[in-house]
Each structure stands twice: as C-alpha cells, then as structure tokens.
Structure 1
Amino acid sequence: MRAGVSPMTVSRVINGRDGVRPQTREAVQKAIDALAYTPNFAARSLVKSSELRIGVIYSNPSAAFMSDFLTGVFEEGSTHGARFILLKGDGGRPPSPEALHELVASGISGAILTPPLCEAQGVLDVLQAAGLPIAAVGAHRCKDAVCVRVDDRRAAYEMSRLLLDLGHRRIGFILGNPDQAASAERMAGFFDAVREVGDADVRVVQGDFSYASGLIAGEQLLNDPRPPTAIFASNDDMAAATVSVAHRRQLDVPKELTVVGFDDTPAAVMLWPPLTTVRQPVHKLAAEALALLVSNIMAGGPPQRREIILEHDIVMRQSTAPPPAAEDA
C-alpha cells in the first residue's frame, strides 16, 4: 500500500470511520488522491447489506409521464423487495454533482434514469465512475447501460402518415427537448413521411415536452397567415396545450384543426376531444428496465450494455379528421 498502512486502515479512512490517527488519515487520503482511486459503491453496498437499493434519478417536465414511469418502477420493484431512493433535478436539468455523489455514497446498488437525464453525460459519468449498473428509459445513446425504449422514428413516421393519408398538407410539428435523442428521432420520422408525398407545407417549432412550451408553440403555429390544418406534438402534454390554444381561439378540434400527440399518458384522455396519439408503454418500459437492472446487479461483474425496443401503437381517438373542405390543403 502506497501509504504504508494496512488494508483495514485504508477501509476505515474510505468509509469515514473512527480509530485512525489524523496524520495516518492524511497520508491515506493523499495516496487515494494520487492514485485517483474511486471505490466501487455497487459492490460495497452488496457486501454491507442484502437489501436492494435503487436510485431513481429524474427531472421530467411531464407529470403524466412520471406518474406512469414511477408506477412501473414501484410495481416491478415490489417483486424484488427493492428500496428506492429518489433524486430530482429541476426544470429538466440534472441534480447537482454534490447530490449525485451523495446518492452514490449512500450505498445504492444501481440507478434507473428517466428522460432527459437518461442521456445526460454528467450524470452517467458519476454513476459509471462508481461502477454502478444503470438502466436508462428512453435513451438512444447507450454505453455500459441497459436502455429500454420504443422506435421513436418509426412511431412518428406512422403518425405522420396517418395525417397525410387523411389529406392534410399544411402540418405543424412541435419538437421536444433538444437535448434528447428521442426528439430528433421523432422529427426524423415526421420528415420521412413528408418526403413521401412531396407537396406538404410543414413548419417546425421548438418545445421541451412541457405543457407550458406547448402553449407557446401552439400560438406560434396558429399565428401563421396560413396556419396548419393539423399539428403533431412530440408528446401528449404539448398536444393538450395545443388543443387549449385552439379552444381559446374558438377553433373546433378536429373539424377545423387536427391535433395528435405521443406517449398515450393520462393527459391524452383528460381533455376534449381525447387525443389520437402514439402509445408508448411507459409503465412497461420502466418495469422492463428495472427488471433488467436488478438482473444485472444480482449477476455481479461489470455493468452490461443492452438495448431493448418495445412495441408502440397508434391509438385513434376524436382529435383527428380530414382537413376542412373549404381549405386548400
């Protein structure tokens, strides 16, 4: 040992225990710093206790998404006797580095992440440096993690084809959080469909998956001199906000404006008319991710990379119709 002390003494210093002289503690700490040593907290937590402790790290602006996600995590976790420690970032931003380090040091066995943090490199760096298994729901960029998602591009293509097949040619698209790969994939699917018809007039505006951003985006699209006859929002919260904007303008949905969303969260059916949307099985995504995370933890060894893609569906409700007959659409 570089500090010239026993492994037991090193363990006491790392774990902050008493029984070490100040000068010895200082020497050990200098050696740790010089070697850039990082303890494997996942292994240490399993040695200290048989209890399965899972960190749930989230900062999602959609309350409906989070409700489905947490239900899936908690229900699956109950079958494994898991205990959850929740850590929240604000406004779509990651928790502070200090908070992340405290979570790791608490002895968690692994962590599960929601969008947009599933692809936040700063969060992943802290967890991976500690050797913790990670499950990321909705992530497209997987490295040493379990990633569970739907085929966002294909799903958005199918929804866009539905609008085009109804006869819509003036279509607005509300983009999601620009920091999430899923946002770019959904926009790519939208343009895959648009290119197939060749005569569509489209406009893309930026959102961030929050209801508030949907209000702003809906106003931008409907303020256009030739507004769209259909709007595809990248999630249900923004689609619901767009319907609210349409109602405020006394537009009939769907006779004068078709609106569709993505996710099929409770927000899709808590307004009139209920939304036609892409069903992303958030509950199942979360449960599958947690089951794979637990399997990874119990298997031991280094964290595993694995990508799972679940099926989506197009759910038809009352927010879609052909464009108004009087419109040159």
Structure 2
Amino acid sequence: MTVKKSRRAKGEATIDEVAGLAGVSIKTVSRVLNREPNVRAATQQRVLKAVKALDYLPNLSARGLAGRRSHMVGLVYNNPSPNYLFHVLSGLLEACRESGYGLAMHLCSPDEPDLVRSATDFARQSRVDGLILIPPVGDVPALLTALEDMALPFVRLSPMDGRPGLGVAINERHAATRVVEYLLELGHRRIGFVMGDPGHGASMARYLGYCDGLERAGLALEPELVVDGRFTFESGRSAGEYFVGMSAMPTAVFASNDEMAAGVLQVAHERGVDIPQQLSIVGFDDTPVSREVWPAMTTVHQPISHMSKQATLMLLDAIKDNGTATKVPKAQLQIFDAPLVKRDTTAAPSAGKRRAAAIRRA
C-alpha cells in the first residue's frame, strides 16, 4: 500500500479516501472503526494501515449522532508515579488511535469526600462511552456501584478487591514472593522491605507476598525491616536513609516500586555503600528508571502499556456489546505474567554479611 505525500492538514482526509486506499467499501471502514464483529483480520489491518497513512481523523460528532455514542473514553486516575501513568497512557492512546476513539482524563483522589460525584459528573459532562479506572481509584466501592447504576461500562487496571467486573492485572502477591525467594536463593536472610502507598491495594498485596516468602523459608518477620513508603522517589530516599543508618544494615532491600528502589540506591551511593556487594536492591514494575540508574536495577516486569491497551480494547468491546448502554458487561479478569528481571543490583551477600546475619539469628 502506498500513498502520495499531501500538503493537507492532518484530519482532512475523507472516509472515501480511506476506503479507496484500503480497497474496501465505506461501510467496511465504518465497521472497522466501530470495532464491529465479523470483519476479517486482513481487512481490518488494511483499513487501519490506510487510516494511519492518510492521518485520517473520524468525525466524532457525526458518529456520535448516528450511533448515540460520543466515541470518547475517559480515564479516571490518581497515581503518584509519573512513570506508571506514562505507560498507562501509552497503551491506552494506542488502542484509542487504532479504534478511532478520543480520550478525556480526570484527576481525582480516592480520599476526597465527593469522589463519586466528581467522577460521575466528569463522565456525564464529557459524554464518555465508558471509563478506564487505574489504582487506587478503581478500588473505591462506592464509585463502582455508582457507575454500575449508570450502566456505564468500565474496566479496572489491577483491581485488588475481588469484585466481579472487567479488569486486567498481574498476580502482585505471587510476584513479590518470587522476589524474596530469589534473594533467599542468593543467600540473603536479612531482607528489608519498603511499603507503597497504604491506600493502594497493590501495596498490601506486595507486602503479603514479601511475608509469604519469608514464611516459606521459615524466617520470622522482623518489623524493624519494614518501612512505610508512598510509591515516590522521596519516600525511597527516606527508607534508604533508615536502612543504611541501621546498626545491622540488611543485606538486601526490596522496594514496592522502581522509584522507591531508585531512592534507596541513590542514598546507598551517597553513603559509600557498594551495590550489590554490600547491599542488593530490587524494585517492582520495570519502568524506564530501572534501566536508567546505575547499576541497572533488578525488578519485576509489569507489562503496564500492554495491560492498559488490552483494558481499553476490552472497554471498547463492552461499549459495542452494550449498544445503548442498558446492561453491565459480564465479569472478566485477564491476568498477565510478571517475570523477575535480573540485572546488576543483586548478588550474593559478602561472607562478612552472611556471618553477621547468622550471629544475629542465633
């Protein structure tokens, strides 16, 4: 498929031109953009390729009048990690672009007293056809009930409450347990842990996974090795100051996300602690910061962009199935793998550290 260079502004291509370039009818182009069923994969790919080549922008207003839809989806979020939000948006926008949908965003806090009103007003005023909810907003029961009462489709990223509904997630607890098992395999016995935001369901799941790993190895939980964090670099630095300042520093630290792990790492560098010979550090999420720090960080890979894209496609399917939005879609939770990525911030503890840990346990 080839297309001549054009001087026209983006969005001036017509649906007729898309149909002509793809070699299909206008109706077929419309069916692809509306994600209707029974369109062959090869045909769908030709249409999407033509849309991209021509920089075609659908007339959302006309489509909304014709189908009683706005062809807009909404993102309701509150997350302190810019890296996490960036990856969420990457996958979400890719799915919207491929499907001819627009995106509206709404920032709110799960702690604000009028959260439900704020989010539902946003949905009505923006006339979105459905919502993507990212943690911790997606774990607020009153909001979920209100959206169900509105018969507005929604999909949650990383839901933690076990409530039926559409969502995508990883097994947070299992992934955290695997981190502890890996550190134990290296010979670590004194492992510090940095909690995430207490209002975030993933924070508790990762903490429980940490506890599971210790319990399976027959090791007692040492409360002084568990430090509060907020999923921020600054809270990671605070944790690092605490651990490095201990009279018996742990031989490894597992932080609940990469940004906090990076904070611990920076403090270790400043205090002259050798990484990983004197202190191993593990993060969680595999965001760019884990690859940009030195040494490169061992972490858990959470496919955030892929998860958010899949969540958006699930939402668009639910919107299509709902028709005039008179029913709530059936429950479906898709679980993604979250492998451990071993890099350069982890190693076996030095002999001196192992002896000190053994003496402490005795």
- State TM-score, norm by structure 1: 0.81
SS in 1 for 2:333: strand
**Residue 209 of structure 1 aligns with which residue?**
231
**Residue 55 of structure 2 aligns with which residue?**
none
**Residue 154 of structure 1 aligns with which residue?**
174
Q: Deviations over 1:73-123 (max 9, x none)?
A: 000111211111001126x75684553233121211110011111212343
After TM superposition, list the pairs within 5 Å mapping 1:65-144 onto structure 2. Answer: 65-89=84-108, 93=111, 96-106=115-125, 107-143=127-163
Which of 218, 240, 250 aligns to 1:218? It is: 240
**Residue 332 of structure 2 aligns with which residue?**
306
Amino acid at match of 1:294: L
**Unmatched 5+ residue regions in structure 2?**
1-63, 358-362
Alpha-carbon distance between aligned partners in 1 of 2:65 and 2:319, rounded to the nearest angstrom: 9
Aligned residues with identical type, % of pairs: 33
Question: Quick check: 187-196 or 151-160, which moved more?
Answer: 187-196
SS in 2 for 1:191: helix
**Unmatched 5+ residue regions in structure 1?**
1-44
Alpha-carbon distance between aligned partners in 2 of 1:321 and 1:200, rounded to the nearest angstrom: 22
Amino acid at match of 1:311: D
**Residue 245 of structure 1 aligns with which residue?**
267
Which of 54, 77, 95 aligns to 1:58? It is: 77
Q: Report the CA distance between 1:200 and its aligned residue.
A: 6.0
Alpha-carbon distance between aligned partners in 1 of 2:90 and 2:320, rounded to the nearest angstrom: 23
Alpha-carbon distance between aligned partners in 2 of 1:132 and 1:314, rounded to the nearest angstrom: 36
After TM superposition, list the pairs within 5 Å mapping 1:270-309 onto structure 2. Answer: 270-300=292-322, 301-309=327-335
1:267 paired with 2:286, answer no
After TM superposition, list the pairs within 5 Å mapping 1:181-200 onto structure 2. Answer: 181-199=201-219
Amino acid at match of 1:110: G
Q: Report the CA distance between 1:64 and its aligned residue.
A: 0.7
Which of 305, 316, 325 aligns to 2:342? It is: 316
1:142–1:56 Cα change, 3 Å = farther
**Residue 164 of structure 1 aligns with which residue?**
184
**Residue 29 of structure 2 aligns with which residue?**
none
Q: Report the CA distance between 1:141 and its aligned residue.
A: 1.8
**Residue 42 of structure 1 aligns with which residue?**
none
Alpha-carbon distance between aligned partners in 1 of 2:162 and 2:319, rounded to the nearest angstrom: 17
Amino acid at match of 2:290: A
Q: Deviations over 1:132-178 (max 9, x none)?
A: 11111011225353121001111111111110111111110111122
Q: Report the CA distance between 1:196 and its aligned residue.
A: 2.3
Kept in 2, the 8 Å contact 1:53–1:84? The answer is yes
Q: Report the CA distance between 1:313 and its aligned residue.
A: 0.9
Q: Report the CA distance between 1:205 and its aligned residue.
A: 1.1
1:255 paired with 2:255, answer no
Alpha-carbon distance between aligned partners in 1 of 2:149 and 2:265, rounded to the nearest angstrom: 45
Q: CA RMSD in A?
A: 2.0
After TM superposition, list the pairs within 5 Å mapping 1:3-18 onto structure 2. Answer: none
Amino acid at match of 1:242: V
SS in 1 for 2:278: coil
Alpha-carbon distance between aligned partners in 2 of 1:238 and 1:46, rounded to the nearest angstrom: 47
1:200–1:318 Cα change, 3 Å = farther
SS in 1 for 2:281: strand
Alpha-carbon distance between aligned partners in 1 of 2:267 and 2:147, rounded to the nearest angstrom: 41
**Residue 22 of structure 2 aligns with which residue?**
none
Alpha-carbon distance between aligned partners in 1 of 2:165 and 2:266, rounded to the nearest angstrom: 39
Q: Number of residue pairs matched? A: 284
1:317–1:299 Cα change, 3 Å = same
1:112–1:298 Cα change, 3 Å = same
SS in 1 for 2:197: coil
Kept in 2, the 8 Å contact 1:136–1:146? The answer is yes
Kept in 2, the 8 Å contact 1:169–1:200? The answer is no
Question: Quick check: 260-269 or 196-205, which moved more?
Answer: 196-205
1:256–1:146 Cα change, 3 Å = same
Q: Deviations over 1:216-247 (max 9, x none)?
A: 22222222221111000011111111101111
SS in 2 for 1:262: coil
Amino acid at match of 1:86: M
- State TM-score, norm by structure 2: 0.74
1:142–1:47 Cα change, 3 Å = farther
Amino acid at match of 1:278: V
**Residue 7 of structure 1 aligns with which residue?**
none
Amino acid at match of 1:249: R
1:46–1:160 Cα change, 3 Å = farther
* Greater strand fraction, Structure 1 or Structure 2: 1
